[in-house]
Amino acid sequence: MIRILVDSPPLIFIGNAHHPTGALISGRLFLHVLEPTITIEMFRVRFLCTTTALKPVARACPDCASRTNELEQWDFLENPCILSNGEHEFPFSCLVPSDLPITTRGLLGSIDYHLVAEVLTSTQETICSREMIDIKRATTVRKDIRAVQSFPSTGLTAQCIHPSVIHPVSEFRLHMRLTGITSWLNNIQVRLHLRELVWWVEERQEMVPTACSRHAAKVGHKGNSTLDIDKRSIGRGKLKSGWIVDFGEGVIETEFLAAVDPSLKPICDVDSKNGLSVSHSLVIEMTVAQELCLRKNPAQMAPSVADKVLWTRFRVALTERGGSGIHPDEEPPPTYKDVPTLPPAYSQLDG
């Protein structure tokens, strides 16, 4: 019997994919020998990444649907060895580089990680054990971004202050300032009224399925097919009031809370070489109405013309929320020098 015990906490990369801090994976492999002795010829653990396309190039082909890459391998034996009855323990560890894509379960594809232990006995019997490894990315640093968009058809300029990073389970604050809501046409003042503001967080999933060698001809010489795209809203809100209007200064200003809906199972940002990527945008839709007022008598207004709908879109990253306390930069993870890489001497195990 064989089993894998992972000692390290869940693998969480801190910061973005270019950040130097990786995550430590360490564990122990237990081989329980029921017979008086067995001879094993091969004993290894492999760390694997599997990318699955839910719309593969050839629908019924498992090789198009899924491909597995080996990221690390630990060979515990150089030569065949005899193990006695009882439990034998083998430690292993490595520092996983932070540029790996996180574990992702998307609508178009998925990325999964496994540790697979394999033992080959002298009787050519293979014993396997698999353990899933969850890789996440978290951000501890949040900064606000000031984004500006102008709408030439109305003379409006929208300035939005929004966080650069949002999280699956927490609110975030948005500040909107619209300038240029008044203008003059001779003796007539043109005023823009904000009737409604709708915001939503848009999740965009993209997958470029890769063809296997047998079906490569279906997609040309590069082996990649066309891009599949899925877009959905993962959080939405509507405001009909709650803003301050100053026609003298020509400004509308509002601040409100927004959030992602965790029940929609939002997927954190990922940008992988495996063909799968997930990104997020904050979209704001404003419905404005135009009114005309005479300079001599501002209370006398002409009927407003048809409402206009204006859109603006800002890029935000969705990641897990980082922990508090010491910043991980100041406390790097232990390296695998701390863990013995060689198996225990078998002469000792054999007694």
Residues that bind Zn ion (CB under 5 A): 58, 61, 63-64, 212, 215
Distance between CA atoms of residues 256 and 244, nearest Å: 12
- Cβ at position 63, least distance to Zn ion in Å: 5
DSSP at 210: B
- Cβ at position 60, least distance to Zn ion in Å: 9
User: Cα–Cα–Cα angle for 168, 171, 175, nearest 5°?
Assistant: 125
How many helices (H) and strands (E) would you count in the chain?
Answer: 2, 23
Closer by beta carbon to Zn ion, 160 or else 211: 211
Closer by beta carbon to Zn ion, 62 or else 298: 62
Closer by beta carbon to Zn ion, 25 or else 219: 219
Are the CB atoms for 311 and 153 separated by under 8 Å?
no
Please tell me the total number of residues recorded for the chain in this structure. 351
Closer by beta carbon to Zn ion, 60 or else 128: 60
Give the residue closest to Zn ion by C-beta: 61
- Cβ at position 277, least distance to Zn ion in Å: 22
Closer by beta carbon to Zn ion, 17 or else 61: 61
- Cβ at position 15, least distance to Zn ion in Å: 37
- Cβ at position 59, least distance to Zn ion in Å: 9
Enumerate residues 6+ apart whose C-beta is below 8 A from 163.
142, 143, 144, 145, 172, 173, 316
Burial 286-307 (b: 16+ CB within 10 A, else e): bebebeebeeeeeeeeeeeeee
Q: Which neighbouring-strand residues pair with 291?
A: 191
Closer by beta carbon to Zn ion, 209 or else 322: 209
- Cβ at position 220, least distance to Zn ion in Å: 14
